[in-house]
Amino acid sequence: MDVEVEQRLVRREAVLAFGLTMAVCGVSLLLLPRLIELPVEIAPRLALAIQTSVPHLLCVLVAIQLVSSGRYHSAADIAGAAAGPPSPQLAVKVAFLQNTLEQAFVGICAQLVLASVAGGAVLALLIASAILFPVGRVLFYRGYAGGAGSRALGMALTALPSLVCLGAAGVVTMGELFSG
């Protein structure tokens, strides 16, 4: 494996993911507030954040099922994780599960943070995140065996919406701190 080639692929795919994320977030911010009423009161805002976390949780469940099914159908893996490292066939599924758990935790927390500090139109970002997360997870899993460059688009499409939600929460919080 040529590290420089992989790094170049990762950068290229990250730039593509950034553009796609900004497009989905931008369209969401422009169109969704015109189509649906986004909450301004704290309880409905937090409820929306939890509801838009469902795709994150479904991705975790799919990843758990992939590992469980992989163990069930493999003589080398059926004894469980305590019996030894996973077989090569199961290793990708285990890595996918671990990464999905990490990304879902960050994504759900970022959505809750945004909903806790902001209401109205900016909550369209929660819906954008809910759309991009499973797309990112599918691309990440499909590209995993191909190396870092092959899974980079999926990884970035998973992580960037969380960063956008955290960034928006930071901007709102700073605006409130310095406005009054």
**166 vs 82: CA distance, rounded Å:** 37
Query: In the prediction, which pLDDT does 95 show?
Result: 96
pLDDT of residue 82: 87
**Residue 158 to residue 133: CA distance in whole angstroms:** 5
Give the residue among 95, 88, 92, 60 at the shortest CA–CA distance from 74. Answer: 88
Range of the domain at 110: 3-179
Helices 54-72 and 88-117, interaxial angle, to 10°?
170
pLDDT tens, per residue, the chain with 180 residues: 789 999 999 999 999 999 999 999 999 999 999 999 999 999 999 999 999 999 999 999 999 999 999 999 999 989 888 888 999 989 999 999 999 999 999 999 999 999 999 999 999 999 999 999 999 999 999 999 999 999 999 999 999 999 999 999 999 999 999 986
Neighbours of 64 (CB within 10 A): 14
Looking up residue 127, the CATH number of its domain turns out to be 1.20.120.550
Distances (CA, A) of 37 to 70, 120, 133: 43, 8, 23
**Tally of structural domains, the chain:** 1
Q: Which residue do the tokens 């969401």 mark? A: 28
